[in-house]
Amino acid sequence: MSLINAIKNGESKIVEFKEKLPGSDAVAKTVIAFSNTGGGRLIIGVTDQGKIIGLDNSIDILELRDKVASIIYDRCYPNVLPDIYTTTIDNKVLLVIEVYRGNLLPYYLKKIGKNEGVYIRVGATNRKASVDNILELERQRMNLSYDQEVNREVRFEYLDMAPIISRFDKLDKPVTQSVMKNLKLIHEENGIIYPTNGLLILLGYLEHAKIKCSRFKGMTMDVFLDSKEYKGDLFTQLDHAESFIKNHIKLGSEIKGLQREDQYEIPIEAIRESLVNAVVHRDYSNEGRDIKVGIYDDMINIVSPGAFPSTITQEDILEGRSEIRNKVIARVFKELNYIEQWGSGIRRIKSSCKTRGLKEPEIVEKGDFVDVSLYREMAETKQVHKKVTELTEQEKAIIEYLKRKDSRITTQDVKSILDIEDRRARGILKGLVDRGLIERKGGGPSTFYQIKLSGSAG
């Protein structure tokens, strides 16, 4: 991302602004947090609101760069080697400290030590790392995921493997010890077989590996209408969570050819993909939280513990980039065809909802969890459907054009489509605006019109 775009997008997991060079510890904490997470840029000469003010003209730039380099060398351990440079935007000079993700995790404040001096990036802030965060950073240094770790407190022979064996049996795939070793579900040591955390998670043996589902009244969490907590193996949890959602959303039907096809108001593909993503990609090393599914009048909300993996940003996720946090769980789900292709899930969620004419789903990193919102068809939208049936043929043609193009229309377009004069075209558009079916955008020669309610009219 260019520096100008980074500033326009505001502070984030990989960008921090300062009007002037902060204290030595503040600089060191930010550099350490970037090194432990996904790298980033500390930009000096920009306000918190993203206004470029530049460095004071009296500052000796070379001296300032040397000062920053000394702060980082003296206070950060292991050694961090950032790029420190100046750049000019709008005739204002900025100092940029560009930090790359390190290979010697975890990084920490030298004077405090590893137990208390590790910092990570959470959203647009630096946060002191917990013991669990530090252990995760050490696993990352060794390229080891939490679910790959061997759990020596549990003996394999005491586990009920039926939930996994039955799923593989449906695909005619035998589950031998050799297969389990290849999938890193088990580990043999001195003739004793131990499970990995991944196997225990899949079987539901870890207390925090569960899904809580709730149906709320209205669009807030003030009043519960129904609530269930699902434990046990992950596959059964997914089945139960999907059933809970189906029981609390509307089922309609559509005539396709000579057949009547039942369909839920939110595509089941989007619901399943969102649930699978939550289960496969959540942070299981955080033992204090679980997956939560909330159903409101306007949406289904799925929250899973853990931010995006360290090197992944919001933009990366939306572009289809994939980084696997739970390697064991992900591989098993791939073997069982829960996952079709790495990195394609978000696109399927969005496209299936868009095809149905629903508001585009939101997949957002909020601090140290991921929040997914799948929007339902609201009563307001239904009123728009009713209004559409009352339109003239010319007005319907405009609405159909906008739905088909999924874009915009101008007065000139209307004149061309309907073969009418300018005055009549403007009158039709004004009538649709007055009824709340379309909205006017821009002004003057740049004026255009779009369907309201994210294209769900008609």
CATH of the domain at 422: 1.10.10.10
Beta carbons of 47 and 19 less than 8 angstroms apart = yes
CB 104 within 8 A of CB 78: yes
Same domain? 362 vs 449: no
Q: Give a yes or no: residue 180 inside a domain.
A: no
Of 255, 256, 228, nearest to 240 by C-alpha is 228
Distances (CA, A) of 30 to 42, 45, 143: 8, 16, 24
The yes-or-no verdict on residue 382 having pLDDT over 80 is no
Strands 15-18 and 40-44, by their bridges, are parallel
Q: Do 348 and 424 belong together in one domain?
A: no
pLDDT tens digit sequence for 97-138:
999 999 999 999 999 999 999 999 998 999 999 999 999 999
Asked if residue 64 belongs to a domain, the reply is yes
Asked if residue 139 belongs to a domain, the reply is: no
Of 114, 134, 154, the domain-final residue: 134
Question: Which of 134, 163, 182 delimits the end of a domain?
Answer: 134
- Domain stop point among 86, 111, 134: 134
Q: Mean pLDDT over residues 135-153, rounded?
A: 95
- Rounded to two decimals, the pTM is 0.76
pLDDT of residue 390: 65
For residue 299, give its domain range.
213-326+337-375
Same domain, 348 and 393: no
Residues 39 and 95 in one domain: yes
Q: Is residue 183 assigned to a domain?
A: no
User: For the domain that residue 243 is a member of, what is the CATH number?
Assistant: 3.30.565.60
369/387 same-domain check = no
Residue 203, domain member (yes or no) = no
AA identity, residue 274: S
Q: What is the sign, positive or negative, of the torsion defined by CA atoms of 316, 317, 322, 324?
A: positive
Q: How confident is the model at residue 458, as a pLDDT? A: 36
Q: Please give the tally of structural domains in the chain.
A: 3
Same domain, 426 and 319: no
Residues 274, 248 within the same domain = yes
Q: Are residues 386 and 351 in the same domain?
A: no
Give 211's strand partners.
230, 291
Taking the C-alpha atoms of residue 90 and residue 270, their distance in angstroms, rounded to an integer, is: 45
Q: How many residues does the chain have?
A: 458
Residues 260 and 369 occupy one common structural domain: yes
> Does 395 share its domain with 271?
no
Asked whether residue 410 is domain-assigned, the answer is yes
Hey, is 88 helix, strand or coil?
strand
d(CA 171, CA 166) in angstroms, rounded, equals: 9
The CATH number given to whatever domain includes residue 110 is: 3.30.950.30
Confidence grade of residue 353 (pLDDT, cut at 50, 70, 90): very high
Do 257 and 383 belong to one domain? no
- pLDDT tens digit string along 259-305? 667 889 999 999 999 999 999 999 999 888 899 999 999 999 999 99
163 part of a folded domain: no
Q: Is 178 a member of any domain?
A: no
Whether 268 and 388 share a structural domain: no
**Given this model, what pLDDT does residue 287 score?**
83
Radius of gyration of the chain (CA): 27
